[in-house]
Amino acid sequence: MADVAPQRDAARVLVTGGSRGIGRAIAISLARDGYDVTLNYHRREDAAEAVLAEIRSFGGAAAALAFDVSDREACAKAIVADLDARGPYFGAVLNAGVTADGPFPGLTNEDWDRVLRTNLDGFYNVLHPLVMPMVRARAGGRIVTISSAAGTTGNRGQVNYSASKAGLIGATKSLALELAKRQITVNCVSPGWIETDMLAGADATQLAALVPLRRLGTPEDVAAAVSFLFSTGAAYITGQVLAVNGGVL
């Protein structure tokens, strides 16, 4: 897949699950902010190409990188090859995630394992090969994980998803403490109900009525929070969970 021509000296940022939904909005927002974005995708090359074309349309810098975040060996192979070719990243956004909802007694082994492997193991699989090159670059950095309200309050029918997202928050807070002295901030954005494929089939009007702001969130709402955490104005913020949920407590 062809790269968009990189901007001179643009800091590199990896966005996992960057071809659709929230990840797409984040990739575009960070590219508009001047970052050289590498968007990860798994199967939808056509969707990734569309995001690259949109970024190219306003002169942004971007590339695409295919791998499955739940596959540790594939992650390491793709990321290490990318680092060897283009150098270290300044930041990363861990957005890729899956659901397999259902009452706990009905969850299969695969329902549990696939969600945990993607949403939680993906944290290790993606960041482990990235962190030391970031540290050695001595340029600071930004890491943002995308959790969920389900990770802080729980949700019926989502024991597996809630467990993975709660674990992601704990991992984020711990890594923030480890990397703080390197001026690498690590924060979490926790979306509420956002208009994406994950809400397909849900009653949007009914859900919006439960939100103090009386609307569902958009992928751009989440992307704006991520862009803030990547900004110079957020340099003194680390180890935090930023809820983007329209005021739901």
Which CATH number characterizes residue 86's domain?
Answer: 3.40.50.720
Q: Is residue 226 part of a domain?
A: yes
- Cα dihedral angle (44, 61, 224, 101), rounded to 10 degrees? 20
C-alpha span between 96 and 116 (Å, rounded): 12
Nearest to residue 179, comparing CAs of 233, 149, 137?
A: 137
Q: Is residue 92 part of a domain?
A: yes
Q: Is residue 7 part of a domain?
A: no
Q: Which is catalytic among the residues 35, 124, 161, 236?
A: 161
Global pTM exceeds 0.75: yes
Q: Is residue 112 part of a domain?
A: yes
Mean pLDDT of 24-36: 98
Report pLDDT for 9: 58
Report pLDDT for 203: 78
The per-residue b/e assignment along 165-182, b for 16 or more CB within 10 angstroms, e otherwise, is: bbbbbebbbebbeebeeb
Report pLDDT for 7: 42
Question: Rounded to 5, what percent of the chain is helix, strand, coil?
Answer: 50, 15, 35
Q: For residues 16 and 2, which has the higher predicted lDDT (pLDDT)?
A: 16
Q: Is residue 1 part of a domain?
A: no
Q: Is residue 129 part of a domain?
A: yes
Q: Is residue 220 part of a domain?
A: yes
Instruction: Look at residue 40 and tell me whether its pLDDT is greater than 50.
Output: yes
Report pLDDT for 6: 38
Mean pLDDT of 170-192: 97
Domain extent for 231: 12-244
Structural domains counted in the chain: 1
Instruction: Look at residue 231 and tell me whether its pLDDT is greater than 60.
Output: yes
What count of other Cβ atoms lies within 10 Å of the Cβ of residue 164? Answer: 27
Mean pLDDT of 127-150: 97
Report pLDDT for 72: 97
**Cβ neighbours for 151, distance < 8 A, ≥ 6 positions apart:** 162, 164, 165, 166, 167, 168, 169, 190
Report pLDDT for 201: 67
Categorize the per-residue pLDDT at 4 as very low, low, confident or very high, splitting at 50, 70 and 90: very low
Categorize the per-residue pLDDT at 16 as very low, low, confident or very high, splitting at 50, 70 and 90: very high
C-alpha span between 24 and 126 (Å, rounded): 18
Active-site annotation holds for 35:
no
pLDDT above 70 coverage of the chain, percent: 95
Q: Is residue 176 part of a domain?
A: yes
Mean pLDDT of 25-31: 98
CA distances from 245 to 49, 197, 207, 249 (A): 30, 17, 12, 9
Residue type at position 239: G
Mean residue pLDDT across the chain:
93
